[in-house]
Protein backbone atom coordinates (compact mmCIF):
# COMPACT_ATOMS: atom_id res chain seq x y z
CA UNK A 1 0.00 0.00 0.00
CA UNK A 2 1.10 3.55 -0.60
CA UNK A 3 1.36 6.22 2.07
CA UNK A 4 -2.18 7.29 1.19
CA UNK A 5 -3.53 3.77 1.71
CA UNK A 6 -4.25 3.32 -2.00
CA UNK A 7 -2.87 0.16 -3.59
CA UNK A 8 -0.77 0.25 -6.74
CA UNK A 9 -3.57 -1.47 -8.63
CA UNK A 10 -6.04 1.19 -7.49
CA UNK A 11 -3.67 3.89 -8.72
CA UNK A 12 -3.32 2.18 -12.09
CA UNK A 13 -7.08 1.80 -12.54
CA UNK A 14 -7.62 5.46 -11.64
CA UNK A 15 -5.05 6.44 -14.28
CA UNK A 16 -6.78 4.20 -16.84
CA UNK A 17 -10.14 5.87 -16.25
CA UNK A 18 -8.54 9.23 -16.96
CA UNK A 19 -6.92 7.83 -20.13
CA UNK A 20 -10.21 6.38 -21.39
CA UNK A 21 -11.80 9.81 -21.26
CA UNK A 22 -9.16 11.01 -23.73
CA UNK A 23 -9.53 8.19 -26.28
CA UNK A 24 -11.05 9.54 -29.54
CA UNK A 25 -14.59 8.32 -30.12
CA UNK A 26 -14.23 8.10 -33.91
CA UNK A 27 -11.48 5.49 -34.26
CA UNK A 28 -11.95 3.82 -37.65
CA UNK A 29 -10.58 0.30 -38.03
CA UNK A 30 -12.40 -0.48 -41.27
CA UNK A 31 -9.20 -0.17 -43.31
CA UNK A 32 -6.90 -1.84 -40.78
CA UNK A 33 -5.23 -5.14 -41.75
CA UNK A 34 -7.16 -8.11 -40.34
CA UNK A 35 -5.94 -9.29 -36.93
CA UNK A 36 -3.52 -12.20 -36.85
CA UNK A 37 -4.93 -15.27 -35.11
CA UNK A 38 -3.54 -15.16 -31.57
CA UNK A 39 -5.42 -18.26 -30.39
CA UNK A 40 -4.42 -20.36 -33.39
CA UNK A 41 -0.78 -19.37 -32.95
CA UNK A 42 -0.80 -20.53 -29.32
CA UNK A 43 -2.76 -23.68 -30.12
CA UNK A 44 -0.30 -24.71 -32.84
CA UNK A 45 2.98 -23.01 -31.89
CA UNK A 46 5.73 -22.56 -34.39
CA UNK A 47 6.75 -18.93 -34.12
CA UNK A 48 6.68 -18.36 -37.88
CA UNK A 49 3.77 -18.00 -40.25
CA UNK A 50 3.71 -20.74 -42.87
CA UNK A 51 3.74 -18.81 -46.13
CA UNK A 52 1.45 -15.82 -46.39
CA UNK A 53 -1.61 -17.33 -44.70
CA UNK A 54 -2.41 -17.77 -41.02
CA UNK A 55 -1.53 -21.44 -40.68
CA UNK A 56 1.17 -22.27 -38.18
CA UNK A 57 3.85 -24.95 -38.15
CA UNK A 58 3.42 -26.98 -34.94
CA UNK A 59 6.63 -27.51 -32.95
CA UNK A 60 6.97 -27.02 -29.19
CA UNK A 61 5.29 -25.11 -26.36
CA UNK A 62 4.10 -21.66 -27.34
CA UNK A 63 6.15 -18.69 -26.17
CA UNK A 64 4.69 -15.19 -25.82
CA UNK A 65 7.82 -13.03 -25.68
CA UNK A 66 7.37 -9.65 -24.05
CA UNK A 67 8.59 -6.16 -24.89
CA UNK A 68 8.76 -4.27 -21.60
CA UNK A 69 10.86 -1.22 -20.78
CA UNK A 70 10.04 -0.91 -17.06
CA UNK A 71 7.73 -2.11 -14.29
CA UNK A 72 6.57 -0.86 -10.87
CA UNK A 73 8.31 -3.76 -9.11
CA UNK A 74 11.69 -3.41 -10.87
CA UNK A 75 11.88 0.13 -12.20
CA UNK A 76 13.77 0.55 -15.48
CA UNK A 77 14.47 -2.90 -16.95
CA UNK A 78 15.95 -2.10 -20.35
CA UNK A 79 17.53 1.23 -21.25
CA UNK A 80 18.12 0.36 -24.92
CA UNK A 81 14.46 -0.28 -25.67
CA UNK A 82 13.51 -0.62 -29.34
CA UNK A 83 10.36 -2.76 -29.70
CA UNK A 84 10.74 -3.37 -33.46
CA UNK A 85 14.29 -4.67 -33.09
CA UNK A 86 13.45 -6.68 -29.98
CA UNK A 87 10.45 -8.33 -31.66
CA UNK A 88 12.57 -9.24 -34.69
CA UNK A 89 15.05 -11.01 -32.42
CA UNK A 90 12.22 -12.83 -30.67
CA UNK A 91 10.78 -13.93 -34.01
CA UNK A 92 14.17 -15.11 -35.25
CA UNK A 93 14.61 -17.21 -32.10
CA UNK A 94 11.24 -18.94 -32.46
CA UNK A 95 8.74 -16.91 -30.44
CA UNK A 96 5.08 -17.66 -31.12
CA UNK A 97 3.56 -14.27 -30.26
CA UNK A 98 4.70 -10.89 -28.96
CA UNK A 99 3.38 -9.13 -25.86
CA UNK A 100 3.77 -5.35 -25.73
CA UNK A 101 3.31 -3.19 -22.64
CA UNK A 102 1.43 -0.05 -23.68
CA UNK A 103 0.89 1.58 -20.28
CA UNK A 104 2.85 4.85 -20.08
CA UNK A 105 2.57 5.91 -16.45
CA UNK A 106 3.76 2.73 -14.75
CA UNK A 107 5.55 0.68 -17.45
CA UNK A 108 6.93 3.40 -19.77
CA UNK A 109 5.15 1.84 -22.74
CA UNK A 110 3.36 3.40 -25.68
CA UNK A 111 0.61 2.47 -28.13
CA UNK A 112 2.98 3.10 -31.05
CA UNK A 113 5.02 0.12 -29.89
CA UNK A 114 2.25 -2.24 -31.05
CA UNK A 115 2.80 -1.53 -34.75
CA UNK A 116 6.56 -1.39 -34.27
CA UNK A 117 6.62 -4.86 -32.73
CA UNK A 118 4.06 -6.16 -35.23
CA UNK A 119 6.47 -5.65 -38.12
CA UNK A 120 8.04 -8.99 -37.20
CA UNK A 121 4.90 -10.73 -38.51
CA UNK A 122 3.81 -12.46 -35.29
CA UNK A 123 0.49 -11.87 -33.48
CA UNK A 124 0.77 -9.02 -30.97
CA UNK A 125 -0.91 -8.84 -27.57
CA UNK A 126 -1.71 -5.43 -26.10
CA UNK A 127 -0.73 -5.86 -22.46
CA UNK A 128 -2.40 -3.14 -20.44
CA UNK A 129 -5.11 -2.68 -17.83
CA UNK A 130 -8.22 -2.99 -20.00
CA UNK A 131 -11.49 -1.95 -18.40
CA UNK A 132 -13.48 -0.58 -21.35
CA UNK A 133 -14.50 -1.38 -24.93
CA UNK A 134 -12.84 1.83 -26.09
CA UNK A 135 -9.42 0.52 -24.99
CA UNK A 136 -9.96 -2.65 -27.01
CA UNK A 137 -10.92 -0.67 -30.10
CA UNK A 138 -7.91 1.58 -29.52
CA UNK A 139 -5.65 -1.47 -29.36
CA UNK A 140 -7.03 -2.81 -32.65
CA UNK A 141 -6.61 0.63 -34.25
CA UNK A 142 -2.93 0.61 -33.28
CA UNK A 143 -2.27 -2.92 -34.53
CA UNK A 144 -3.01 -5.26 -31.62
CA UNK A 145 -4.19 -8.79 -32.45
CA UNK A 146 -5.24 -9.64 -28.88
CA UNK A 147 -5.72 -7.88 -25.57
CA UNK A 148 -5.21 -8.77 -21.91
CA UNK A 149 -8.24 -8.92 -19.62
CA UNK A 150 -7.42 -9.11 -15.90
CA UNK A 151 -10.27 -10.80 -14.03
CA UNK A 152 -9.43 -8.98 -10.79
CA UNK A 153 -10.28 -5.64 -12.41
CA UNK A 154 -13.67 -6.62 -13.85
CA UNK A 155 -17.15 -7.60 -12.73
CA UNK A 156 -18.59 -10.79 -14.23
CA UNK A 157 -20.79 -8.80 -16.60
CA UNK A 158 -17.91 -6.56 -17.72
CA UNK A 159 -15.63 -9.56 -18.20
CA UNK A 160 -18.19 -11.30 -20.42
CA UNK A 161 -18.88 -8.10 -22.35
CA UNK A 162 -15.22 -7.27 -23.02
CA UNK A 163 -14.42 -10.88 -23.88
CA UNK A 164 -17.15 -10.92 -26.51
CA UNK A 165 -16.28 -7.46 -27.82
CA UNK A 166 -12.69 -8.54 -28.35
CA UNK A 167 -13.93 -11.55 -30.29
CA UNK A 168 -16.25 -9.34 -32.34
CA UNK A 169 -13.13 -7.47 -33.48
CA UNK A 170 -11.28 -10.72 -34.24
CA UNK A 171 -9.15 -10.51 -31.10
CA UNK A 172 -9.31 -13.55 -28.80
CA UNK A 173 -8.37 -12.14 -25.37
CA UNK A 174 -5.86 -13.53 -22.91
CA UNK A 175 -7.80 -13.67 -19.62
CA UNK A 176 -5.56 -13.39 -16.57
CA UNK A 177 -6.21 -14.93 -13.14
CA UNK A 178 -4.38 -15.25 -9.82
CA UNK A 179 -6.67 -17.51 -7.76
CA UNK A 180 -9.08 -20.42 -8.04
CA UNK A 181 -12.02 -18.03 -7.64
CA UNK A 182 -10.78 -15.89 -10.53
CA UNK A 183 -10.14 -19.02 -12.61
CA UNK A 184 -13.72 -20.16 -12.11
CA UNK A 185 -14.98 -16.72 -13.13
CA UNK A 186 -12.82 -16.78 -16.27
CA UNK A 187 -14.09 -20.22 -17.23
CA UNK A 188 -17.66 -19.16 -16.49
CA UNK A 189 -17.25 -16.27 -18.91
CA UNK A 190 -16.08 -18.67 -21.61
CA UNK A 191 -12.39 -17.72 -21.79
CA UNK A 192 -10.38 -19.83 -24.26
CA UNK A 193 -6.94 -18.55 -23.27
CA UNK A 194 -6.29 -18.28 -19.53
CA UNK A 195 -3.11 -16.76 -18.16
CA UNK A 196 -2.06 -17.62 -14.62
CA UNK A 197 -0.02 -14.72 -13.26
CA UNK A 198 2.36 -15.97 -10.58
CA UNK A 199 2.67 -12.38 -9.30
CA UNK A 200 -0.06 -10.96 -7.07
CA UNK A 201 -0.91 -7.56 -8.56
CA UNK A 202 -1.84 -6.17 -5.14
CA UNK A 203 1.24 -7.25 -3.16
CA UNK A 204 3.65 -8.00 -6.07
CA UNK A 205 4.56 -11.25 -4.25
CA UNK A 206 5.49 -14.15 -6.56
CA UNK A 207 4.13 -17.72 -6.19
CA UNK A 208 5.59 -20.00 -8.85
CA UNK A 209 3.53 -22.97 -7.64
CA UNK A 210 0.23 -21.27 -8.50
CA UNK A 211 -0.01 -22.36 -12.13
CA UNK A 212 0.50 -26.01 -11.21
CA UNK A 213 -2.23 -25.84 -8.56
CA UNK A 214 -4.68 -24.20 -10.95
CA UNK A 215 -3.86 -26.39 -13.95
CA UNK A 216 -5.72 -29.45 -12.67
CA UNK A 217 -8.75 -27.32 -11.79
CA UNK A 218 -8.75 -25.74 -15.24
CA UNK A 219 -8.72 -29.15 -16.93
CA UNK A 220 -11.89 -30.13 -15.08
CA UNK A 221 -13.65 -26.82 -15.79
CA UNK A 222 -12.67 -26.16 -19.41
CA UNK A 223 -10.54 -28.99 -20.84
CA UNK A 224 -10.01 -27.27 -24.19
CA UNK A 225 -8.82 -23.93 -22.79
CA UNK A 226 -5.16 -23.01 -23.19
CA UNK A 227 -3.21 -22.20 -20.03
CA UNK A 228 -0.43 -19.61 -20.19
CA UNK A 229 2.05 -19.47 -17.29
CA UNK A 230 3.09 -15.86 -16.61
CA UNK A 231 5.78 -14.09 -14.54
CA UNK A 232 8.91 -15.24 -12.73
CA UNK A 233 10.05 -17.83 -15.28
CA UNK A 234 13.80 -17.26 -15.33
CA UNK A 235 15.44 -20.70 -15.21
CA UNK A 236 15.43 -23.64 -17.67
CA UNK A 237 14.48 -26.05 -14.89
CA UNK A 238 11.41 -23.94 -14.04
CA UNK A 239 10.43 -23.96 -17.69
CA UNK A 240 10.87 -27.73 -17.95
CA UNK A 241 8.75 -28.37 -14.87
CA UNK A 242 5.96 -26.05 -15.96
CA UNK A 243 5.96 -27.61 -19.42
CA UNK A 244 4.33 -30.65 -17.84
CA UNK A 245 1.06 -28.76 -17.36
CA UNK A 246 1.22 -25.35 -19.11
CA UNK A 247 0.36 -24.93 -22.79
CA UNK A 248 2.30 -21.70 -23.22
CA UNK A 249 4.53 -19.22 -21.41
CA UNK A 250 4.62 -15.43 -21.25
CA UNK A 251 8.18 -14.34 -20.56
CA UNK A 252 9.62 -10.84 -20.52
CA UNK A 253 11.76 -9.62 -17.64
CA UNK A 254 14.43 -12.33 -17.81
CA UNK A 255 14.89 -11.63 -21.53
CA UNK A 256 14.68 -7.84 -21.20
CA UNK A 257 17.40 -7.87 -18.51
CA UNK A 258 19.85 -9.80 -20.65
CA UNK A 259 22.47 -7.58 -22.39
CA UNK A 260 21.96 -9.80 -25.45
CA UNK A 261 18.36 -10.90 -25.93
CA UNK A 262 19.50 -13.68 -28.26
CA UNK A 263 21.91 -15.05 -25.64
CA UNK A 264 19.26 -14.66 -22.93
CA UNK A 265 16.83 -16.62 -25.08
CA UNK A 266 19.29 -19.44 -25.70
CA UNK A 267 20.20 -19.59 -22.01
CA UNK A 268 16.54 -20.10 -21.11
CA UNK A 269 15.22 -22.15 -24.01
CA UNK A 270 18.23 -23.51 -25.87
CA UNK A 271 17.94 -23.65 -29.66
CA UNK A 272 14.35 -23.78 -30.96
Q: Which residues are catalytic?
A: 66, 68, 127, 176, 197, 230-231
Closest CA to 23 of 118, 164, 142: 142
Spatial CB neighbours of 196, under 8 Å, sequence gap ≥ 6: 176, 177, 178, 183, 210, 211, 214, 215, 227, 228, 229, 230, 246
- 183's enclosing H/E stretch is helix 180-189
User: Could you tell me what percentage of the chain is helix, strand and coil, using 3-state DSSP and rounding each to the nearest 5?
Assistant: 40, 15, 45
- Burial state string for 233-250 with b = 16 or more CB within 10 A and e = fewer than 16: bbeeebbeebeebbbbbb
d(CA 46, CA 244): 18
d(CA 106, CA 8): 10
> Which residues are 149's β-sheet partners?
175
Amino acid sequence: MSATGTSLLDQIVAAKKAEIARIPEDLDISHAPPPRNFYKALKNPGGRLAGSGQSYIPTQKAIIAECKRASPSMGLIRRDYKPAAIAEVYASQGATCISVLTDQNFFQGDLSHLKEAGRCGLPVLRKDFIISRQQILEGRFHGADSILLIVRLLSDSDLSDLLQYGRDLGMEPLVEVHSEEELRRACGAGARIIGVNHRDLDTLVMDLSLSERLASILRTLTPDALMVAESGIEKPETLRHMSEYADAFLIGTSLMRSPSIEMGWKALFGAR
